[in-house]
Amino acid sequence: MGANDLIIPCAHCGAKNRVPKERLEDRPVCGRCHRPLSSGFSFPKEVMEISDWSFQREVLDFPGPVLLEFSSPFCGYCRVLEPVLDQLAAEYAGRVKFVKLNIITNSLTASQYGVLSTPSLFLFRKGNVVDKILGAVSKEEIKKHLQPIL
């Protein structure tokens, strides 16, 4: 391993990836699952998929505001909400981190937070839930909920 290399764990599968510091701007992907890697406490410009394994690091330990969508691949409303969250992630890049957790494959975190339906949006600040939005809502409604946590 070179002096300019970083070890970045994948938020989705947990694989450890060696990435040269000078290549961080190239948007590296995981060698195992090929999903984008997050290097530290950054605000990605897109919705990032997380797992039960990475929830603590990506949401609770994150110093800034986080919007977490509990979703299901079988939920039509989640699919309707997906492009809205993608737009908001780009719009709020650098201010709010947007993450998504599949409740089918990551039921531990969903049960800890009492999630019974999808989509469920939870807003976190400094590791604490500060607001919840249940169901598919408009972009404007989500923005109203984001304002107080900025």
Other Cβ atoms within 10 Å of 49 Cβ, number: 19
Residue 137, pLDDT > 80, answer: yes
CA torsion 102-107-112-114 (nearest 10°) is 70
Other Cβ atoms within 10 Å of 86 Cβ, number: 14
Domains detected in the chain = 1-39 (2.30.30.380), 41-149 (3.40.30.10)
Mean pLDDT of 114-127: 96
User: 62 or 21: whose pLDDT is higher?
Assistant: 62
Mean pLDDT of 65-72: 97
Can you read off the two tokens belonging to residue 128?
A: 């604490």
What are residue 126's phi and psi, to 5 degrees? 55, 40
Model confidence band, residue 1 (pLDDT cutoffs 50, 70, 90): low
Give the pLDDT of residue 41.
54
Residue percentage of the chain with pLDDT more than 90? 63
What are residue 121's phi and psi, to 5 degrees? -105, 125
Work out the angle at residue 16's Cα, subtended by the Cα atoms of residues 10 and 21, and round it to the nearest 5 degrees: 90
Distance, in Å, from the CA atom of 148 to the CA atom of 115, rounded to the nearest integer, reads: 23
Give the pLDDT of residue 148.
93
Whether the CB-CB separation of 60 and 114 falls below 8 Å is answered with no
Strands (E) in the chain, as ranges, are 5-9, 16-20, 48-50, 66-71, 97-102, 120-125, 128-134
Can you read off the two tokens belonging to residue 115?
A: 């999630």
Name the residue type at position 62. F
- What residues act catalytically? 75, 78
